[in-house]
Amino acid sequence: MPKALVAYFSRTGHTKKMAERIAASLRAHDLETDLRAVGTVAVSDLLHYEAIILGSPTYYGTMSWEVKKLLDDSVKYHGRLRGRVGGAFTSSGNRAGGNETTVLDILKALMIHGMVIQGDHQGDHYGPAAVGAADARALKSCDRYGERLAALTLKLFPGLKN
Ligand SMILES: Cc1cc2nc3c(=O)[nH]c(=O)nc-3n(C[C@H](O)[C@H](O)[C@H](O)COP(=O)(O)O)c2cc1C
């Protein structure tokens, strides 16, 4: 069975709440999912997942260094994540405070790994973004993201299905 990792950094809990919501949605849509704080993820762990979804608060318009560190360390496995599903989400303090650039910065790194990224024609186009604590709209975006990425992962890795 394919597996997903939702890894997040969160200082005040907003991004963590989104991570929990996305993980719950992935599970509800039949994808076995681990939810972990990014600091507990060893870079070699990434090899065990068919979908890797990273969340960070928006810090100066981009991801926190903890998330960037995992990505920089992942160069050790450059090429080994090719074809797997990637995703990103964020919480920022302000509505136009750099949340989209944060999501895109994470997605860029995942694309450099050769991972498969799915945009959305509705709602949050690049990945879920909340302002502060996720409101009803942002929670819905997390639910929808989990549903869509679970479907994509199960489609791309049917051989691993039970
Ligand atoms: C070091 C630092 C930098 C930040 N930079 C930004 C920023 O560029 N734009 C923004 O909108 N909010 C910024 N914020 C606010 C956080 O993105 C916001 O509080 C977020 O909800 C925190 O998420 P968390 O609860 O998961 O830690 C910053 C906060 C900190 C501590």
Q: Which tokens belong to 33?
A: 């999912």
User: For 51-90, how does the pLDDT look when each residue is reduced to its tens digit (9 = 90+)?
Assistant: 999 999 999 999 999 999 999 999 999 999 999 999 999 9
User: For 101-137, how does the pLDDT look when each residue is reduced to its tens digit (9 = 90+)?
Assistant: 999 999 999 999 999 999 999 999 999 999 999 999 9
Q: What's the rounded Cα separation, in Å, for the pair 51 and 116?
A: 9
How far apart are the CA of 29 and the centre of ligand 1, in A? 30
Q: What's the rounded Cα separation, in Å, for the pair 143 and 161?
A: 22
User: For 1-34, how does the pLDDT look when each residue is reduced to its tens digit (9 = 90+)?
Assistant: 899 999 999 999 999 999 999 999 999 999 999 9
Question: In the chain, helix, strand, coil percent, each to 5?
Answer: 45, 20, 35
**Residue from 109, 105, 3 nearest 47 by CA:** 3
Cβ of residue 93 lying under 6 Å from some atom of ligand 1: yes
Q: What's the rounded Cα separation, in Å, for the pair 106 and 139?
A: 20
How far apart are the CA of 13 and the centre of ligand 1, in A? 11
- State the CB neighbour count (10 A cutoff) for residue 3: 17
What pLDDT is stored for residue 159 in this prediction?
79
